Amino acid sequence: MTLKSEILFISDLHLSLEKTEITRLFLNFLEQRAIKAAALYILGDLFDAWVGDDDNTPPNPAIKKAFKQLAASGTAIYLLQGNRDFLLGFDFCKEAGITLLDEYAVINIDEPILLTHGDLLCSDDLPYQAFRVKSHSREWQQQILSKPLWVRLLAARWYRLRSYFHKRNKSQQIMDVNQDTVATIMQQYQCRILIHGHTHRPARHEFLLDNQNATRFVLADWKKSGAEVLCWNGGWLVEKI
């Protein structure tokens, strides 16, 4: 048996019923590629919207089944909530064989590495940060999750539409990370490598942090034409699938 050693990082798949090509690409990735890895980290926005762990509308059952099969193969699966699927909870993760991580998580691969979705780093977007505080409160989430599923599904469609038009009126700078916030968080968690998604601006940024070399990996969003995966296997590599 081949020893699994690779660690894979992905984010921003935005899976939904309408995005059949991306769902198909992801299921194939789990079955053919992720199964070869020791661990898979999903750094938020796995789903385009998540209205509660009781939502079993397509493609959710197929995704849970594929995750469970991957976990059974010996690949550990870790998940961070994103700004689109922050209601994703422990019930879903238990059914799928996934470990749910905090909004900032430190893992060790030769050295400490900080993982986050990325929306918290966009500190210049004050209206979004205010909404994030409200929407992550227990009271707000309980109020939403207490509504019937069909109401939540309709509300999710409306929120996605509203988000689309709001983004059109925001500058690209506001929707990107704030480098001072990046430095502060990395210092707080004592990490010189940061991996995140959210901005849909895949890149590898090298900079100095406390007079030492630091790296910020930005993961790519998935498209029906293909996707990128950040791989670690003794070194860092971006792999196209």
Residue 25 is inside which H or E element, if any? helix 20-32
Tell me the one-letter amino acid at 219: L
Distance CA 24, CA 21 (A): 5
Domains and CATH numbers, the chain: 7-240 (3.60.21.10)
Place of tokens 């498209």: 223
Tell me phi and psi for residue 93, to 5 degrees.
-65, -35
Contact 11, 221 (CB under 8 A): yes
The pLDDT of residue 170 is 62
Please name every residue paired with 9 in a beta bridge, in sequence order, or none if there are none: 41, 230
Per-10-residue mean pLDDT for the chain, 241 residues long? 85 96 97 97 97 96 98 98 96 98 96 98 95 96 96 88 61 82 98 97 97 98 95 96 91
**What confidence score (pLDDT) does residue 1 get?**
46
Alpha carbon 132 to its chain's center: 16
Cβ(218)–Cβ(197) below 8 Å: yes
Q: How far apart are CA 20 and CA 86, in angstroms?
A: 22
